Chains A and B, each alone.
Chain A
Amino acid sequence: MYYDPFVLPFTIGLTALLLFLIIKYIRWIRTFRKSERRKIRKGIFSLKTLRSIGEIFSECLLHRKIYRTNPFLGYMHTCFGLGWFLLIVAGKTESMVYHTSAVNPPYFAIFFRFFHPAKETFPYSNTFAFITDLLLLFILSGLFLALAKRLWSRIVGMRKTTKHRPLDLLILTTLWLIFPLRFLAESFTSGLRGGGSFLTNNAGEFFARFLPLEQLTYPAWWAYSGVLGLFFILLPFSRYMHIPTEIVYIFLKNWGIKQGTKFNAFSEIQMYACSRCGICIDSCQLNSSLGMDTQPVYFLKKIRHQKEYGHLIENCLLCGRCEASCPVGLTHNALRLAKRPDLSRITKNTYSYAKNAAAPAKMAYFAGCMGQLTPAVTRSMEQLFKQAGVSYTFIDKEGGVCCGRPMLLAGNREEAAVMAEKNRAILKASGAEVLVTSCPICLKMFREEYGLQIRIVHHTEYIDELIREGKLKTVPSEQRTVFHNPCELGRGSGIYQAPENILKSISRKIDTAFDGKKSLCCGGSLANTSIDGKQRNRIAGDAAKAYAAYKPDVLVTACPLCKKTFATASDIPVKDIAEVVAERCRP
């Protein structure tokens, strides 16, 4: 039997950690709704589980998504994730080959170099020694980068890194000590009795020249086991809870569990799955333009550690930029919304004044409240409908009931539902089979909350179709255009191609670093009720400047609210895509 008292800290720590995790996860999942638990049962024995394992490999070990932010940062995470994992696998395999049995205690593999008499060889013993040394070197190189990141974050492409709590710094130190101590323990042992490979062997010989290895080796193993045990014990109370929780989150996500309207156990799982990598900080314009610490990393951290977070609930544009950049793929908009209280107090009669009627037509056009404030947009749309020869009914031409999304973004879901009911009735009365909206905010609401069985498109998609079907004849121009994709259109509704097609066909569209998912928020978002007009203006100004750097003749957007917000903050003209097309249309 291989045993030595120094393995105790490690073994106790690991056992305590595993027990804690099992109890915690079971308690969380037990509070899930029945339908969700059914999804889990169905999902376990399906391809979804395999897909999850693939995702766990590429995200939790390789950290593929972090490479998008910066290759050095990605490499650093790969070193810790994949490096440690492979080290464990290699160690375990080695111990099994040596021991010719799979059921040796976990500590035996971890402290293999201590128990294995170096002179005794076994199949591939040199190869194993080489591999584990190589992996250790790999991890140590990542550690070096991590140190550099603490001192100078720009090395890994980050302007700001997360501010951590003292306990987190303690456990960070513990984590960082693990691998140097392993290196020392193995090197000392090798210096004393031989063994190891290119790294530990040479280091051992080097240390033997001036260190009393006889006295140092055994304490080094104690120290290595001690920091491992301490790390395991501290893990549940620190941000490293993200390591096991991210794995659980990936499974649950792939099995079909979604963040609902309440902050529940699944939200807590998301909260614990945040690694506090801080990537969301740089992506958030409330940070870059206003220097505010309201990003998911701080929001979730405050909730988790029971700090006052009320002021952060409203201070978010729900622009989705952090969500798009988060390597763990957490659903931040839904999480923030789940914390907004529902103060609804209306009844169905509140909107009885609006008629449940609309002129019948195959296609219904809904300008929305914001569309009403930008007559240039609605005029252009009506012109385009006429030129394309499509019959339509303008259901809120004389005003109407708001789509309800601004209400929903404020947390008042019940009131939003009442508005939705009203608009559903009006739409039904029109008998329309297609609904075209000018405002992406309305679009998202109609698509996601109305449960309509008809086709719902934004005017960018509709115009794109009309052009491609040849119903609209456009004349190309030499105008230089830059497209600002509104948050609710791009990240919110996944519409990227239609505006691209349109602008490429009628103008010289310039590509920017803010295309697609990376588009900037105009700052006008109704989701944030915490910042004031001046602050909105600063965000809008910074965003407009970023687009203006590409020297376009016109900044094109596709949302009446974005247009309005940019109008006062931009030096170059701002137009809706509908206006630009209307100008380039042959009558």
Chain B
Amino acid sequence: MPTLWGYSISAARSIDYDKNDPLFRRWLAIASPSSQLCIGCGGCTAACSAGNLTEFNIRRLQMLVKRGESRETAEQLHKCMLCGKCLLVCPRGVDTRQMILSMKRFLREHDQ
């Protein structure tokens, strides 16, 4: 159908509400309200100590959670060193460290 109208859906960019689990997202919105302020600028990732030498990408991880895809976050999040650099560069005042700690707590509580 979509191709009929001249556009296509890229799987990487779409949010599939049938498959995704909104639990983590909803929980994060409450546990870390400032995470809602993120505009996805990527400043955090640019500054990130852990991302300096690896593929670790904190902006991507939080975006995935917000899309309801927590698998990659569960696999990657422990690479964050909680150093706080991202917190200092975020232009939107997202309390990234607190957000990451909340995410860790969620993962622990849900055994992921």
Query: Contact between A350 and B98 (Cβ–Cβ < 8 Å)?
Result: no
Of A70-78, A289-297, A318-326, A367-375, the segment with at least 4 beta carbons within 8 Å of chain B is: A367-375
For B104, give its contact among A343, A398, A530, A533 (CB under 8 Å).
Answer: A343
Cα(A526)–Cα(B95), bound, Å: 11
Contact of A402 among B49, B54, B89 (CB under 8 A): B49
Check A407 against B82 for contact (C-beta < 8 Å): yes
Residue A307 interfacial (CB < 8 Å)? no
B84 at the interface (CB under 8 A from A): yes
Residues of B within 8 A of A533 (CB): 34, 93, 95
0 or 1 for each of A342-354: is its CB under 8 Å from B? (1 = yes) = 0101100010011
Q: Which of A170-217 contact B (CB under 8 A)?
A: none
Of A353, A369, A407, A410, which contacts B85 at CB under 8 A? A369
Find residues 388-425 in chain A having any chain B CB closer than 8 Å to their own CB: 398-402, 404, 406-407, 410, 412, 415, 419
**Interface check B53, CB cutoff 8 A:** yes
Query: What is the CA–CA distance of A530 and B95 in the complex, to the nearest angstrom?
Result: 9
- Which B67-108 residues have C-beta < 8 A from chain A? 78-79, 81-85, 87-89, 93, 95, 97-98, 101, 104-105, 108
Contact among A401, A410, A564 with B101 in the assembled complex (CB-CB below 8 Å): A410
Q: CB-CB < 8 A to B34: which residues of A?
A: 532-533
Smallest Cβ-Cβ distance to B53: which chain A residue: A353
Bits for B14-50, please: 1 = Cβ < 8 Å to A, else 0: 0000000000000000000010000000000001010
* Complex CA–CA separation, A529 to B89 (angstroms): 16
Number of B residues with CB within 8 Å of any CB on chain A = 24
Contacts of B49 in A (CB 8 A): 369, 372, 399-402
Contact A410 B82 (CB under 8 A): yes
Q: Please, which residues of chain B bring their CB within 8 A of the CB of A415?
A: 78, 81
In whole angstroms, what is the CA distance A524 to B87 when docked?
10
> Roughly how many angstroms separate A372 CA and B81 CA in the complex, as a whole number?
15
> Which residue of the partner chain, among A345, A400, A564, contacts B78 with CB atoms under 8 Å?
A345
Q: In this complex, what residue of A is CB-closest to B102?
A: A529
Q: Check A399–B52 contact: CB distance below 8 A.
A: yes
Cβ contact within 8 Å between A373 and B89: yes
Chain B minimum-CB-distance residue to A567: B88
Shortest CB distance A477–B (Å): 30
Q: Knowing A343-B105, A350-B79, A529-B98 are in contact, say whether A372-B85 is a contact too (CB < 8 A).
A: yes
Taking a contact as CB atoms under 8 Å apart, the answer to whether A564 and B53 are in contact is no
Alpha-carbon distance A391/B39, docked complex (angstroms): 44
Tell me whether A346 and B78 are in contact (CB under 8 A): yes
Residue of A nearest to B109 (CB): A343
The docked-state distance in angstroms from the alpha carbon of A373 to that of B87 is: 11
- Determine which of B52, B93, B95, B108 lies in contact with A343 in the assembled complex, contact meaning CB atoms within 8 Å: B108
- Quick check: B83 and A402 within 8 Å, CB to CB? yes
A353 touches B54 (CB 8 A): yes
Asked if A534 lies at the interface with its beta carbon under 8 angstroms from chain B, I say: yes
Chain B contacts of A412 at CB under 8 A? 82
Q: Are B52 and A404 in contact (CB under 8 A)?
A: no
Q: Find chain A residues with CB under 8 A from B54 CB.
A: 353
Chain B residues with Cβ below 8 Å from A534 are 93
Q: A374's closest neighbor in chain B, by CB?
A: B88
A412 to B54, CA, bound (A): 22
With A and B bound together, what is the CA distance between A419 and B79 in angstroms? Answer: 11
Give the chain A neighbours of B52 by CB distance below 8 A. Answer: 398-400
A373 and B85 contact, CB distance less than 8 A? yes
| A119-B101 Cα distance, complex, nearest whole Å | 76
How distant is the Cα of A102 from the Cα of B88 in the complex, in angstroms? 69
Residues of A within 8 A of B93 (CB): 532-534
Q: How far is the CA of A529 from the CA of B94 in the complex (A)?
A: 12
CA distance A350 to B50 in the complex (A): 10
| C-alpha spacing A270/B52, complex, angstroms | 43
Task: Determine the distance from Cα of A22 to Cα of B90 in the docked complex, in whole angstroms.
Answer: 55
B30 to chain A, nearest CB (A): 14
**CB nearest neighbor in A for B81:** A402
B88 touches A402 (CB 8 A): no
Q: Compute how far the CA of A530 lies from the CA of B97 in the bound complex, rounded to whole angstroms.
A: 10
The residue in chain B whose Cβ has the minimal distance to the Cβ of A347 is: B78
Is there contact, CB below 8 Å, between B82 and A402?
yes
CB atoms of B97 and A399 under 8 A apart: no
**Minimum Cβ distance to chain B for residue A19 (Å):** 44
Q: Would you call B81 and A404 a contact (CB within 8 A)?
A: yes
The residue among B54, B88, B105 with the most chain A CB atoms within 10 A of its own CB is B88
What B residues does A373 contact at CB under 8 A? Answer: 47, 85, 88-89
Cβ contact within 8 Å between A406 and B83? yes
Closest to B89 in A: A373
Closest to B97 in A: A529
Residues of B within 8 A of A400 (CB): 49, 52
- Interface flags for A51-65 (1: CB within 8 Å of B; 0: not) read 000000000000000
Q: How far is the CA of A48 from the CA of B102 in the complex (A)?
A: 45
A564 CA / B81 CA spacing, docked (Å): 19
Interface hits, A327-381 → B, CB 8 Å? 343, 345-346, 350, 353-354, 369-370, 372-373
B94, chain A: closest CB distance, angstroms: 8
Identify A406's interface contact among B53, B78, B82, B89, CB under 8 A. B82
Q: Could you say which residues of chain B place their CB within 8 Å of the CB of A524? A: 88
With A343-B105, A350-B79, A410-B101 in contact, is A369–B95 under 8 Å at CB? no
Looking at the assembled complex, report how far the CB atom of B44 sits from the nearest CB atom of chain A, in whole angstroms.
Answer: 12
Other A-B contacts than A400-B52, A526-B97, A534-B93, 5 sampled, CB-CB below 8 A, are: A399-B49, A401-B81, A407-B82, A407-B83, A412-B82
- 4 nearest A-B residue pairs (beta carbon): A399-B52, A402-B81, A533-B93, A369-B83
Provide a sorted-by-A list of 28 A–B residue pairs whose CB atoms are within 8 angstroms: A343-B105, A345-B78, A345-B104, A346-B78, A350-B79, A369-B81, A369-B84, A369-B85, A370-B83, A399-B49, A400-B52, A401-B81, A402-B83, A407-B81, A410-B101, A412-B82, A419-B81, A526-B82, A526-B84, A529-B95, A529-B98, A529-B101, A532-B34, A533-B93, A534-B93, A561-B84, A561-B88, A564-B88
Interface set of A (CB-CB < 8 Å, partner B)? 343, 345-346, 350, 353-354, 369-370, 372-373, 398-402, 404, 406-407, 410, 412, 415, 419, 524, 526, 529-530, 532-534, 561, 564
